[in-house]
Structure 1
Amino acid sequence: MATLDIRDLHVDVVTETESKEILKGVDLTVSSGETHAIMGPNGSGKSTLAYSLAGHPKYQVTSGSVTLDGEDVLAMSVDERARAGLFLAMQYPVEVPGVSMSNFLRTAATAVRGEAPAIRTWVKEVKQAMKDLDITEEFADRSVNEGFSGGEKKRHEILQLELLKPKIAVLDETDSGLDVDALRVVSDGVNKYKADSDGGVLLITHYTRILRYIHPDKVHVFAGGKIVESGGPELAEELENNGYLRFTSGKPAAV
């Protein structure tokens, strides 16, 4: 049973000219087998939370705590966080020219598992995972994300998720830029990961369409750098119907 516990997290974004507070006291707990959806308007701090959990140097934690199974995540380097069981699927996956997908995936699996997977078993594992995500085998020889379409990049992120099987997966707007078919494939991949590993999912999104395929246990509204309301799937339906006005203006949404 894995638990990610975030308590009163405050984070500044540091640029060349200034440091600005974005997260203003986030409290959240995600455990094995749970799916939590975070929804909110642009600029509310959702992606800042994702990158802060992953350890991006641009985001400076000024106070609060993050623990994974009682261990201090904030004291860990980026690679230590990954080995501890945290995974981030990025909104904008980066290209890595000169590094093939096959080498990248096996190196990552070796680092996370503590030993290199046996070649024969690994090849079967990768081929099956690629087949599940409608990724053709030729992609294994291509450089990581180089020349990939937006949908291909997102499928590659979920391929990593399936092969690495982290304790907690943070998915930062994985649905952005996907057509209906790709959205179904990616969602099926997330659901398979959760079923196979009993991992926890923190799903960051603007829209409810992905929640038709990945059913959340809890929905949290993010506004002004913190969670302002939590509820069940019915909260996502309210956001679909009325938007975020009630949470950003202090006034009731129009009916």
Structure 2
Amino acid sequence: MLTITDLHATVDGKAILNGLSLTVAAGEVHAIMGPNGAGKSTLSYVLAGRAGYDVTGGSVTLDGTDLLALDAHERAAAGLFLGLQYPVEIPGVSNLTFLRTALNAQRRARGEAEASGAEFMKLVKTEAEGFGLSMDMLKRPVNVGFSGGEKKRNEMVQMAVLNPRVAVLDETDSGLDIDALRVVSDGINRGRSPNRATLLITHYQRLLDYVVPDRVHVLVGGRIVRSGGPELALTLERDGYQDIAA
């Protein structure tokens, strides 16, 4: 589903990704771990098409479509979702307006019928309740006044409503207490589907205690230097990265 081949990318002229290759098949959850500065967040931004992250080589395809040839909004319409480490606040725009606008924009881009008001409200209410967000919170501006855990729950609602083909979650566990971590992890697990590939970027084993990945990859120096099963994350938790060379 998601295929990354020999990807090179720079930020402000500095090489960050240096030949990264990875394939995440439909129905799979892969975790990427690595030390600070390894290129984990850069990978997520490159996949999403963030400005200032320049691809200098390699390719990325989603279901055979050249992702790098698309603008950021086109990548979203193609089925890519990025969960941010630090979700942004959008004053003046309610969660409900934001979500319905995003959902219908993607449906139009795919040639699908837009969601009616009743259909949308039923969907968003169901998903919000599953993540412990009240409708009152969804009427508030996006993430404004939300705690760190509430922002991450809100992102899980967004992901559930938009129903992406590929979910890239950049340190979704960052800043979560135990209860919020369990809620978010449950949402990721409920989103597992034969039609979705999920890429988890994380520093810690604790997320993987709840969301058991199919594969774990170690990113060092802008490329993947080791891959393995879930047990690899336990090894990293115990021994760190000092013995893993780029």
**Pairwise CA RMSD of aligned residues?**
1.1
Counterpart for residue 53 of structure 2: 59
1:84 aligns with 2:101: no
Deviation of 1:74 (Å) = 0.5
Determine what percentage of the aligned residue pairs are the same residue.
57
Offset from partner CA, 1:206-238 (integer Å, 9 cap, x none): 000000111100000011111000000111110
> Displacement, 1:118?
1.7
Which whole-Å CA distance do the structure 1 matches of 2:203 and 2:85 have between them? 12
Question: C-alpha deviations, 1:162-182, integer Å up to 9, x for none?
Answer: 011110100000000000000
Distance (whole Å) between structure 2 residues aligned to residue 142 and residue 116 of structure 1: 23
Counterpart of 1:134 (choices 132, 135, 145) is 132
SS at match of 2:200: strand
Match of 1:144 in 2: 142
**Does 1:156 pair with 2:154?**
yes
Deviations 1:35-92 (A, max 9, x none): 0000001111000000000000110000100111111111100000000011100111
Show structure 2 runs of 5+ residues with no match. none
Other structure's SS at 1:191 match: helix
Equivalence for 2:223: 226
Q: Distance in 2 between matches of 1:194 and 1:103?
A: 26
Contact 1:168 1:199 in 2 (8 A): yes
User: Which position in structure 2 is the counterpart of 1:191?
Assistant: 189
C-alpha distance in 2 between matches for 1:62 and 1:86: 21
Structure-2 separation of matches of 1:60 and 1:120? 42
State the AA in 1 paired with 2:196.
G
Aligned residue number for residue 89 of structure 2: 95
Query: Is 1:123 equivalent to 2:117 in the alignment?
Result: no
What amino acid is aligned across from residue 190 of structure 1 in structure 2? I
Residue 63 (structure 2) aligned to one of 50, 65, 69: 69
What is the one-letter code of the residue matched to 2:5?
Answer: R
Counterpart check, 1:206 vs 2:200: no
Letter in 1 for 2:182: R
SS in 1 for 2:57: strand
> Is 1:176–2:170 an aligned residue pair?
no
Secondary structure, counterpart of 1:107 in structure 2: helix
**Corresponding residue SS for 2:92:** strand
1:27 aligns with 2:21: yes
Shift of 1:23: 0.3
Distance 2:210 2:240 in 1: 20
Which segments of structure 1 move beyond 6 Å, counting only runs of 4 or more? none
Which letter maps to 2:26? Answer: S
Alignment of 1:99-114 (within 5 A): 99-114=93-108
Equivalent residue for 2:7, pick from 6, 9, 13: 9
Counterpart check, 1:236 vs 2:233: yes
Q: CA deviation at 1:192?
A: 1.1
Count of matched residue positions in the alignment of Structure 1 and Structure 2: 242
Q: Residues 83-136 of structure 1, C-alpha deviation per residue, up to 9 Å, x if partnerless? A: 001110011111111110000000111012223212212211111101100011
CA distance in 2, matches of 1:9, 1:134: 38
TM-score, L = length of structure 1? 0.93
Question: 1:90 corresponds to which letter in structure 2?
Answer: L
Counterpart Cα distance in 2 of 1:41 and 1:198: 31
TM-score with structure 2 setting the length:
0.96
